[in-house]
Amino acid sequence: MSNAPIGDPAGDPSPRPRGQTTPRGPYSGVVVVMGTMHGKQDQVAPVFAEVLGARVLAPAGIDTDRFGTFTGETARTLTPVAAVTAKARLAMAMTGSPYGMASEASYGMRYGVLPVHEEVLNFIDDTRGIEIVEGLNTPGAPGVPRLVGAVSHATPGVPGSPRLITGTAAALEAAREFGFPAQGAVVTTMAAGRLHVSGKGLDDVEDLIRAVQGGLKLSDTGQVCVEPDLRAHLNPSRRQALTCLAERLARRLATPCPACQAPGYGKTAVLTGLLCRACGLPTDLVAADVHRCAACGHQHHVPRPQRRAEPQWCDYCNP
């Protein structure tokens, strides 16, 4: 049952400080396997250890790229929730663990001008038949792709369109604009009519220059695109989002259902209809959060602090 709002094992949490006790709860001492090949367990494991007393490990040799890559070698055809479920299930199948989790990121434009990063993190507990999903939307993106190979400019009237610049020095300048080398880089080009990845996972100046030079030799157009590597292990802002989501998910898993005591009770939806302060009619603003149990379906509504909407948000008062 899903409940969504909206290897060498790696990532073993560090030993607890002497004198600090392990949290008691349904997940104390369990091992949760995470479907990742990009080190995401490093952001989740410390939080799960502190809040739940659980260990988070990533199976050796897991291939989550089969579900899609940012650079397009494999198409990303699944929805974010379907992708995290598939990744978590893969880790569980590889290890035999009844507890699994995974994350998925999407980057897009809101209102055509505002870059937004959406991160989804799930947790599957087959012993209880539940799946918990948490999501986080944050404004911004690591950076804008830049074309290298000739002197030009961004496409007029197209926000976020690649800017055409020239030479390896300019490529390095473009990469540094999005935080290179702390933020990793990717170099792609069109070669023989197809997208070619000249280099990714680039966090070294010499490697970046080699990738740019190699891509220019193969390019159909004499251009390459330098852009941020969006994978978690090379993306500091994404790692921050993962830590935030891990904290939210862990605290939700530590919250029992008031009806059946199953873990994972928390916000799954919102109710609109906040009443207008002037006329009393419902508006499209959120009036309450819906908290629900993934196991038994028990739910209750938590009113938002704002009890009335201003008339400017009312279709009757401000048509």
CA dihedral 24, 39, 86, 137 (to 10 degrees): 80
Q: Tell whether 161 and 193 lie within a shared domain.
A: yes
CA atoms within 13 A on the CB side of 214: 14
Tokens of 80: 């974010």
pLDDT for the residue 165: 53
Q: What is the pLDDT of residue 155?
A: 47
Is the separation of the CB atoms in 102 and 35 below 8 Å?
yes
Q: What average pLDDT does the segment 31-44 reach?
A: 97
The count of residues in the chain is 319
Residues 161 and 185 in one domain: yes
Question: Does residue 112 surpass a pLDDT of 60?
Answer: yes
Across residues 219-238, what is the average pLDDT? 92
Question: Given this model, what pLDDT does residue 26 score?
Answer: 94
pLDDT at residue 303 tops 50: yes
* Mean pLDDT of all residues in 232-239: 95
Same domain, 167 and 224: yes
Residues 46 and 159 in one domain: no
* Residue of higher predicted confidence among 101 and 4: 101
Is the same domain home to 74 and 196? no
Q: How many domains does the chain have?
A: 3
Shared domain for 188 and 125, answered yes or no, is no
What residues make up the domain containing 275? Answer: 266-313
Name the percent of the chain lying above pLDDT 90. 74
My answer on whether 249 and 271 are in the same domain is no
Q: Are both 87 and 109 inside the same structural domain?
A: yes
What's the pLDDT score for residue 159? Answer: 47
pLDDT at 10 over 50: no
- Asked whether residue 319 is domain-assigned, the answer is no
What's 77's domain CATH number? Answer: 3.90.950
Same domain, 89 and 153: no
17 and 104 in a single domain? The answer is yes
In a domain, 261, yes or no: no
Q: Does residue 160 share a domain with residue 128?
A: no
Distance CA 57, CA 46 (A): 11
| Phi and psi torsions of 236, nearest 5° | -60, -40
Q: Within a domain: residue 29? A: yes
Instruction: Indicate if the pLDDT at residue 18 is higher than 60.
Output: no
Average pLDDT over residues 88-100: 98
Question: Is the per-residue pLDDT at 307 higher than 50?
Answer: yes
Q: Are 270 and 254 in contact (CB under 8 A)?
A: no
Residue 316 pLDDT > 50, yes or no? yes
Beta carbons of 275 and 282 less than 8 angstroms apart: yes
What pLDDT, in 10s, does the model give residues 142-175?
A: 887 888 774 444 444 444 455 555 678 888 988 9
> In 3D, which of 113, 86, 112 has the Cα closest to residue 100?
86
Q: Within this chain, do residues 127 and 243 fall inside the same structural domain, yes or no?
A: yes
Greater confidence (86 vs 170) lies with 86
User: In Å, how far from its chain's centre is CA 164?
Assistant: 29
171 in a structural domain:
yes
Question: Which tens digit of pLDDT belongs to each residue from 242-290?
Answer: 999 999 999 999 999 999 999 999 999 999 999 999 999 999 999 999 9
Per-residue pLDDT band for 13 (boundaries 50, 70, 90) equals very low
Residue 281 token pair: 């009619």
pTM: 0.83
- pLDDT given at position 23: 66
